[in-house]
Copies of this chain bind each other. A is one copy, B any other.
């Protein structure tokens, strides 16, 4: 009954009862009011909703609460109808459909407030940890069906748990918004993803639009609708569109950049007038590059490292401050930055034995650095990082930097002109921008320009459920993005080679980074 509710998908409608002077049909009367409330010109009502309508309207004295949704800019749907004074909670479910992790957020559709959240591993991990393994598995007999069932059943189990925790029934969920990458979206929809990974890289669909949640197999309200975020292409998915929505890039006058490092590195640059995107998986030099760093974050995993440049003492922080048992991506970047600042690696990222001293180790003829000796570790063994790990990090950070350089160059912008640099996801939440700048992974911008977005995929999905205006923006964002194929040509490779140094061959680009002399401070 709050006036604010009318800025949401739930509309409180007081219909004028029919009279001889106004004998509009019941459904048409409701449709007129809903179109007015929603700003649409067409409104669909299912046959199963029409059948009880005349008795409902009369019983409710023509006072109703309606859950609405859109199909497109001009067409709305009646999703659920209840008495104007009914007390039932009307919910929405936002889903971040990650390759590794899935996050659900339950939302009160009338207040727009979050009612609860739940995180779980994507059950398809049992088939394979990465997109490629799953796509290949989908080509085996019943593989696609099995992958589809894994995620749908996983979602149903978890949403049921989330509902129980929030004191509602799953059939109180009337709207669902799902943002995931192109491959995960295909598996969710039961669509064969085989052509995504084969030249010329064709998804089955880029704009699945709004579907009946029941058609997807989701155990929510019978007439619930699900918006599946559209993809730009095989390597630029709905999770990124949700990210753009979440950070309002499509409405800002100033140019911003959004970087999401998840399964791939995806970058989008733009403002309210234009948007340009590219993805790191497009070039063979980058394959798996950015992500092949460290282990998944969890208790005991090192996420912060400082090295005292004088004493070379390591100051290590672990998640939940448990004994260290591994190192995650942000920890590896911190480590590399600290090693570089303290002269323990050189500008090529190579371990300097004399500087590493007793932390240096040769295992199977490969140089290693002992990050945590066995005596202090949570595993009982030395926690090491190998030269190969560091080389991989260098390629990753060079790839990242080269993509950023390429996309800004493509629109004739200097990196220094970027007013806002959004970093999405876990990467954005944990990374220390100063460390990433130190190793030359991201440009040397003033730190306040870096903004961590958190789970922008979930955030964007949730906004669609609480702000109807955002619905139209989703398609507008998608259609407004120019996808730039990363053309791995000689120029790209030259840039990439130049970026394989710490912080960069051209140190003038990183004035804030104090590049140690060849011998380094002792």
Contacts and interface: CB of A to CB of B under 8 A. Distances in A.
B209 A53 contact: no
Interface stretch (A22-30, A90-98, A445-453, A499-507): A22-30
Contacts of A25: 202-207, 231, 233
A211 interface: yes
A28 B216 contact: no
Given A54-B195, A72-B42, A189-B50, A19 B203 contact: no
Nearest to A201: B23
A47 interface: yes
A207 B26 CA distance: 11
A234 interface: yes
A299 interface: no
Contact of A53 (B22, B201, B204, B234): B204
**Which range contains the number of A residues in contact with the other chain?**
35 or more
A45 B71 CA distance: 12
Task: Name the prevailing secondary structure of the A interface residues.
Answer: loop
Interface string A306-334: 00000000000000000000000000000
A208 interface: yes
Interface in A8-49: 18-28, 31, 41-42, 44-47
Contacts of A22: 200
Interface string A209-250: 101000110000000000000010110000000000000000
Contact of A47 (B26, B206, B215, B233): B215
Interface string A71-91: 110110000000000000000
Contacts of A44: 71, 209
Contacts of A72: 41-42, 75
Contacts of A189: 47, 50-51
A234 to B, nearest CB: 7
Contact of A26 (B28, B190, B202, B209): B202
Contacts of A18: 200, 202
A20 B200 contact: yes
Contacts of A45: 205
A497 interface: no
Contacts of A27: 204-207
Interface string A173-211: 000000000000000011110110001111111111101
A55 interface: yes
A42 B210 CA distance: 12
A204 B23 contact: no
A189 to B, nearest CB: 6
A445 to B, nearest CB: 33
Contacts of A200: 18-23
A195 to B, nearest CB: 6
Contacts of A20: 199-201, 485
A54 B23 contact: no
A26 B74 contact: no
A28 B19 CA distance: 47
Stoichiometry, copies per complex: 2
B50 A205 contact: yes
Contacts of A42: 71-72, 75
Given A44-B209, A72-B42, A205-B28, A233 B191 contact: no
Contacts of A51: 189-192
Contacts of A195: 26, 54
A202 B47 CA distance: 17
Nearest to A215: B47
A251 to B, nearest CB: 23
Given A44-B209, A75-B75, A234 B23 contact: yes
A21 to B, nearest CB: 8
A404 to B, nearest CB: 24
A191 B42 CA distance: 21
Nearest to A209: B44
A23 B20 CA distance: 58
A205 B26 contact: yes
Residue among A23, A24, A51, A55 with the most chain B CB within 10 A?
A23
Interface in A326-377: none
Residue among A24, A204, A211 with the most chain B CB within 10 A?
A204
A176 to B, nearest CB: 14
A27 to B, nearest CB: 4
20 contacts: A21-B200, A23-B201, A25-B202, A25-B204, A25-B231, A27-B204, A27-B205, A42-B72, A44-B71, A44-B209, A47-B190, A50-B189, A51-B190, A53-B205, A54-B191, A54-B195, A54-B202, A54-B204, A71-B75, A74-B74
